[in-house]
Amino acid sequence: MDARQEDVLSMQIVTVDLLEHTDTAILDRMPQIVTVTAALRAKVETLRNFKNGQMLNRSGNRMTKEEIRVEMTQKGFETAAAVCAYAIAESNEVLEMEVTYVYSDLERMRDTDVADTCQSIHEIAFPLLTELADYGVTAESLGKLKDAIIEFNTAMPKPRQGIVTRKTITEQIALLFEECSELLFRIDKLVTMVRFSEPTFYSDYFGSRRIVDTGSRKLSLRGVVTDELGQPIDKVIVAIEASSLISTKTTAKGNYQFKGVEGGFWPVVFKRDGYTSEKVFLAITPGLRVDFNITLKAASEQERSA
C-alpha cells in the first residue's frame, strides 16, 4: 500500500466512523445509507487486514532458508571431508575424487545444485557407516544431514511464494479501493439530499471525506554550502531554531534540505569545524520552498584555537 492509498484509507476510516455515530433520525432520511455504510465498513476492514498482510516482513522466509542451507552445507562438507580422509587412507582414488569439494564452491552453487550435492554425499557415506566410525561419521550425524536436506528442499519455494502472495494482495487492494470509491460515491449522493435540512451533518460528512496528504511533505528550505573557492562543503550542521530545533547535515555535494518546517521568521545556523559559523534569518512560508545558498569562510587561526 503506497502513501496515497494510506491517506485514502485514513479518510475512509474517519468517514465510516462518522456515519456510524450519526443520529438515526438523520440516517433515516437517506434510503439504504445504513446498508451501504455497512458494506463500506466491511471493505475497509478487509483493506486494513490486507495492509497488514502486505507489510508482513517476508524476509524471514529467506533468512530461514539461508540458515538451513548453511547448516546443510556444513554438515555435507564435514561428511565429505571424513569420507575423503578414509578414501586416502584406503588408497581409493575414485572415492576420493567423488567427495573432494572446496567449501567456497559449495557456497556459490545454486540452491538445487548444493542440495543435490549434499544428497550425493549422503548416499556415498551411508553404505560406509561402519568404516567411517573412526572418522566421526555416525548414523546420527548422517540422519541430521538427511533432515537438513529435506528441510532445505521444503524451504526453497517459500521466498518465491512470499513474492507471489504480496503481488496478489497488492492487486486485491487496488480492486478494493475501486469498490470503496463506488460505495462512497453512492453515500455522497445520499448525503447531498440533506444538504439544507441537515447542514451540520452535511458539512461534517464532506469534511471527513477530505484526503489529508501525510505521505509527502513539501520542501520548505534547500540550498548548497560552499567554501570561498566555490567547492562544496560536506558535514556542515544546518540548524533551524524554530519553536523546536531541527537540524541536518550537508551531503558530499554540499546540499541540504528541510521538509515540513512550520511557518515563521527563523534563525538558521551553519556550522562546521574549520569554518566561521554563520547565522541568517529566513522567512519560511508553508507550501512554499525557499532556496538559500551560502559560502562559509575558513576560520582564522585565532578562531580555531578558541
Sorted by where each begins, the domain ranges of the chain are 1-215, 219-305
Packing angle between helix 158-192 and helix 3-20, nearest 10 degrees?
A: 50
Nearest CA to 50 out of 179, 166, 169 is that of: 169
pLDDT in tens, 104-151: 889 999 888 999 999 999 999 999 999 999 999 999 999 999 999 998
296 burial (CB, 10 Å; 0-12 / 13-18 / 19+) is buried
pLDDT of 216 strictly over 70? no
Q: Which fold has domain 219-305?
A: Immunoglobulin-like (2.60.40)
pLDDT in tens, 156-170: 765 555 555 566 777
pLDDT category at 78 given cuts 50, 70, 90 is very high
How many whole angstroms separate alpha carbon 209 and alpha carbon 203?
10
**Looking at residue 283, what DSSP letter applies?**
E
241 burial (CB, 10 Å; 0-12 / 13-18 / 19+) is middle
Of 9-13, 202-206, 279-283, 301-305, which range is least confident?
A: 301-305
